[in-house]
Chains A and B, each alone.
Chain A
Amino acid sequence: MDTFGFLAQGLATAMQPMILLYALIGVTLGTAVGVLPGIGPALTVALLLPVTYGLDPAGSLIMFAGIYYGGMYGGSTTSILLNTPGESASIVTALEGNKMARAGRGGPALATAAIGSFVAGLLATLALAFLAPFVVKLALVLGPRDYFALMMLAFITVSAAFGDSTMKGLTSLFVGLALGVVGIDGLTGQARLSFGVPQLLDGVEVTTLAVAMFAVGEALFVAAQGSAMHDKIHAIKGSVRMTREDWSRSWRPWLRGTAIGFPIGAMPAGGADIASFLSYGSEKRFARKPEEFGHGAIEGVAGPEAANNAAAAGTLVPLLTLGLPTTATAAIMLAGFQQFGLQPGPLLFVTAPTLVWGLIASLLVANVMLLVLNLPLIRLWVRLLTIPRHWLYAGILLFATLGTIGVNPSPVELSMLMIFGIMGYLMRLHAYPIAPVVVGLILGPMAEQQLRRALAISQGDWTTLVASPVSAVLLTLAFLGLVVPPLLRWRGKGDVLSKVAAAED
């Protein structure tokens, strides 16, 4: 049977009423945990794993996949409306999305996120079905040096998120890099900057930092301004739907986001967060109105949201074809497969084709469900902003705290949430951007480990970093990204950039 035949058979499996029900439960739960700050899909799947012991394997795996997709989806809602990313892949969504929401354009922002996620999820799932064997071969060619080069490119790209002052952006980034050093060094097992506190040995949790900086910091900021708040939030201004212009500005970022997200998700050391950073950076480069970035550019929502969903589908490529779990959620899904006596890997497509194709088909179904579930909800969601502020932010604080201590009930974790929250408030007060701190914490340790792994493998030979074609190309791109824009500005040809961008469009 060819791929089409298998997919048709899979769709038949996925359309069974019970399977549909599992998928519906999965996407609903996933959306809910994505919306709640601090609680991610990995934790939800882990907690549900024992519950599903007696259930049908196909149904429960499909439910897990639904949770994963739903989580990517739900994370955007709070990012956009409340400037509170539910997880690391939605951080850049908050940058433009929240600006749009404050200007009364929350509806279109949510819609472009939802439709972008749908388009990306659909295309990436089809890519999973048809391209998985090829993509996975490419993924294996990449080693630590190539990942290091990718991280460098990501660093340069996210400088796009620095806001108006490069100096302030760099300061924020280095605060994040410093936080990334805390904990046991992965390669030597030695503790760094843990000051004898055992809870710090595992480092600073990304979700704790993100929830603290964004949610707690924002709540404190709002509370401190009291009734003297100048920055008036418009709940709804204009249509809740996307305008013709929104559509025309969104569809290219959706496709670009998918093209960036799927391969990066499929890379064993990639991930949805890196995909969303790269997408944000490239949207800013390609945008027809780059000056709108930082003030609510719809491209900055459409691209990263498509990228993080495409990356979620990409993650399933190494999981299903090689049995390689590359994210926390994938690792727990692997445990789920094993619980049912199934071993994902090169043989899974042969030993359990009904299940695999049923799963892939269910992802398509789950995608449609998510869109149907979320589009009508947008009207409801945007009304969140009409809740009186003191109630709204009290609620956000409550959920942020519950989410954090629900994952790790320790006083140290709670103290970190509060300390980083106050730090986030002070940074806001002095106009330092928040996102680079979180980005530094995510990318810093990854880049460090990949660099040291690469050097260990080459036994200290630095030329290894440019010896592979992939790393050489990526590092060249990163270098150009660093050097060309200031050079053009210095030669007084800043307008050349936008012309180049327009021509490439």
Chain B
Amino acid sequence: MKHTLLSVALAAVCAMPAFAADYTIIAPAAPGGGWDGTARAMQTVLQQEGISGNVQVQNVPGAGGTVGLAQFASSASGDANQLIVGGYVMVGAILTNASPVSLADVTPIARLTGEAVGIAVSANSPVQTIEELVEMLKADPGSVSWAGGSAGGVDHITVGLLAKAAGVDPTLINYVAFSGGGEALAAILGNQVTVGISGVGEFLPQVEAGTMRMLAVSTAERWVGTDAPTLMESGYDVDVQNWRMVAAAPGLTEEQKAAVTADIDAMVNSASWAETLETQNWANTYLSGADFDTQLAADIEATTVVLKDIGLVQ
């Protein structure tokens, strides 16, 4: 009995790559998170659609994805069968951790999905609109406490950008970082902080239940599921989305890069990918080729500037 239990558990745990695979996707995070979810969704769709016969997912967690990125850049060079999943958080983490390996050391292929950052207050908060919030921020930046995700992450960057756009010194913002979504939500619902900032998806169920009020979203367009205005509409020049991407190994030939891009194109245009986006509640913000390269460069530059402004990067 004991041996059966142990072997069952071991089989579950040791589900590590053992065979030669058409693609190996590195998820630079622990199982269960967004990047891991993206990698595993890609695995399922690539196999189901017959784009790739055998796809393996390998988790290399650590330091906002920079541990996995560094390992990938050094060990996968020239290997067109290896992919890595990443995202906007990685852009910030590379800067704040002063990572020696950056996205310039891999071959970015495409942006896959994205999510707006939402700004929300508890339903019984006196703050009604984003304008009121910004007025408070202008009057006394420290009096507005923001509950959001980890320091230097997309939530923190969005607050910094909003402060700048509103003419407030970004170093004065009172940003309270929470590690798990649950604790931050509890702090917002319990009015422990003035306002919350996080992925729209975390807030929407609360908004639907009437326990929270969404003040604004960070993308250029309004977000499905909420009638909150964009920051742009409200007069603040901020356009941020928390996107996820896929990159290939460094040192690929143009043909190899084109082949990988074609596979990813085929995956994104398939019916099962559409279905996956639907069930996971992910928004398709697919962008590849030169357009993606331009957008990525712009995102990296804006992030570098704002992280310096907040004082997180010297």
Contact = CB atoms under 8 A, between A and B. Distances in A.
Nearest to A144: B192
Contacts of B182: 268, 318-319, 324-326, 330-331
Given A143-B190, A410-B60, 17 more contacts: A33-B13, A36-B9, A39-B9, A143-B187, A144-B192, A184-B63, A189-B150, A202-B63, A318-B186, A323-B206, A324-B186, A326-B182, A346-B209, A402-B10, A402-B14, A409-B60, A456-B176
A345 B206 contact: yes
Contacts of B211: 322, 346
A131 to B, nearest CB: 18
Given A191-B97, A380-B1, A408-B61, A47 B179 contact: no
A264 to B, nearest CB: 14
Interface in B1-55: 1-2, 5-6, 8-10, 12-16, 30-32, 36-37, 40, 43-44
Given A36-B9, A346-B209, A456-B176, A377 B1 contact: yes
Contacts of B60: 409-410
What are the nearest 7 A-B pairs in CB distance?
A46-B31, A189-B151, A346-B209, A201-B63, A143-B192, A189-B152, A324-B182
A201 B97 CA distance: 8
Contacts of B178: 453
Interface in A327-386: 328, 330-332, 335, 338-339, 341, 343-347, 377, 380
Nearest to B311: A188
Interface string A144-166: 10000000000000000000000
Contacts of A344: 205
15 contacts: A29-B12, A33-B9, A44-B12, A47-B12, A53-B44, A140-B190, A191-B97, A198-B66, A201-B63, A268-B182, A338-B280, A402-B10, A408-B61, A457-B174, A457-B193
B186 to A, nearest CB: 4
B32 A456 contact: no
A376 to B, nearest CB: 10
Interface string B146-177: 00001110001000000000000000001111
Contacts of B36: 46
Contacts of B176: 144, 187, 453, 456-457
B13 A42 contact: no
Given A185-B151, A453-B176, A32 B181 contact: no
A414 to B, nearest CB: 14
A326 B181 CA distance: 8
Given A43-B13, A457-B192, A339 B279 contact: yes
B281 interface: yes
Interface of B: 1-2, 5-6, 8-10, 12-16, 30-32, 36-37, 40, 43-44, 60-63, 66-67, 70, 96-97, 99, 142-143, 145, 150-152, 156, 174-183, 185-187, 189-190, 192-193, 205-206, 208-211, 279-281, 312
A50 B25 CA distance: 15
Contacts of B209: 345-347
A266 B143 CA distance: 30
A32 B193 contact: no
B5 A31 contact: yes
A33 B14 CA distance: 12
Nearest to A315: B182
A213 B189 CA distance: 40
Nearest to A201: B63
Contacts of B205: 323, 343-347
A202 B29 CA distance: 11
A476 interface: no
A50 B13 contact: no
Interface string A31-65: 11101100100111111111001000000000000
Interface in A187-204: 187-191, 198-199, 201-202
B8 A32 contact: yes
A325 B182 CA distance: 5
Contacts of A408: 61-62
